[in-house]
Amino acid sequence: MLFRVFLRYRRTVILSVALLVSFLLLTLQARQEGPLVGLVERGLVLTVTPFLKLYGSVTGTASRLWTNYVDLRQVRAENLRLQEEAAALREEVRRMEEAGVENARLRRLLDLPAARAFDLVTAQIIAKDTTNWFKTILVNKGASAGLERNSPVIAAEGLVGRVVEVMPGTAKVQLLTDPVSSVGALLQEQRVTGLVTGDQGQTATLKYLPLLAEVRVGDVVLTSGMGGVFPKGILIGTVSAVHRRSGALFQEATVQPSVDLARLEEVLVITGGRAPGPAGGAGTRRGREG
């Protein structure tokens, strides 16, 4: 048992014995015990020196490795901290860029001519319903902000729709592309009127145009102001196709809305200074303009 322990720790035991003997010889030399001490001392020094050198080399290497390990841990911790700071800065830059884009959109809204002619409320879109049958959005302003049913809704590019349902803090807006929506319309150049209604896609249809009117692709379509809901002169869109059916009493046109309704984020709701006329009008369960 002791032999196994000795074999396992033989280097440590030999080094310890050598150091102890060196200490004893130094003590004897200090007492001047004779020449035998010097001879034994020299032999012992020659024997122990390689072990001492090895010990010094091992301890020095271990010390350097430990120091490098500690430094590496500190460098890694510093790198992690810097990465976290960089991620936080990138997030802050992203928020600032998004705020700048939002401010630019709001400035465009507030610079509209309508912003100086009417009482307006800025609202953000918080939900969308773009099913095939009903196309509506939900905004974060309601009756407490002055919104009413049939309040016109616009964006920087033109007409969006109208308010069809009002809650205290929210309101539902019917888009002009809703199949049951209708808006009195005016062709800017020809000065002929019609009715813009929604369809199943992302466009609208301009109906009841006189057969003799020279309607062309690219013609600008504005609100006519008839019906008492939408003020006159708000941009609706442009004609993208003209339809003249044989035997029909009127011609029709496909209208591409000027507002990209799929990417809309903020709107302006007109709460005062509307065109004169009856508020609302009848025709459908969600309100039509005739």
pLDDT tens, position by position, 40-63: 556 655 665 666 566 566 666 766
Looking up tokens 């007109």 gives 270
CATH number of the domain at 127, please. 2.40.10.350
**Which residues, in sequence order, are CB contacts of 190 under 8 Å at separation 6+?**
213, 214, 215, 219
Q: Is the pLDDT of residue 201 over 90?
A: no
Q: Looking at residue 190, what DSSP letter applies?
A: T
Domain annotation covers residue 290: no
Domain of residue 182, residue span: 120-272
**Across 240-247, average pLDDT:** 90
Domain annotation covers residue 232: yes
Same domain, 164 and 64: no
Q: Is the dihedral of CA 236, 239, 245, 251 positive or negative?
A: positive
229 versus 68: the higher-pLDDT residue is 229
Percent pLDDT > 70 in the chain is 61
What is the pLDDT confidence band of residue 194, given thresholds at 50, 70 and 90? very high
Same domain, 129 and 104: no
Last residue within a domain, chosen from 59, 81, 111: 111
pTM for the predicted model, two decimal places = 0.58
**Which residues, in sequence order, are CB contacts of 234 under 8 Å at separation 6+?**
114, 152, 154, 158, 159, 222, 223
State how far the Cα of 90 lies from the Cα of 95, in Å rounded to an integer. Answer: 9
Same domain, 166 and 245: yes
pLDDT recorded at residue 159: 94
Per residue in 119-133, pLDDT tens? Answer: 888 899 999 876 666
Q: Is the pLDDT of residue 20 over 90?
A: no
Domain annotation covers residue 280: no
pLDDT recorded at residue 290: 39
**Across 186-211, average pLDDT:** 91
Per residue in 268-282, pLDDT tens? Answer: 899 865 444 333 333
Same domain, 8 and 95: yes
CA dihedral 249, 253, 254, 255 (to 10 degrees): -130
Q: Looking at residue 147, what DSSP letter applies?
A: -
User: What domain count does the chain have?
Assistant: 2
Half-sphere exposure of 212 (CA within 13 A, CB side): 0
Domain annotation covers residue 105: yes
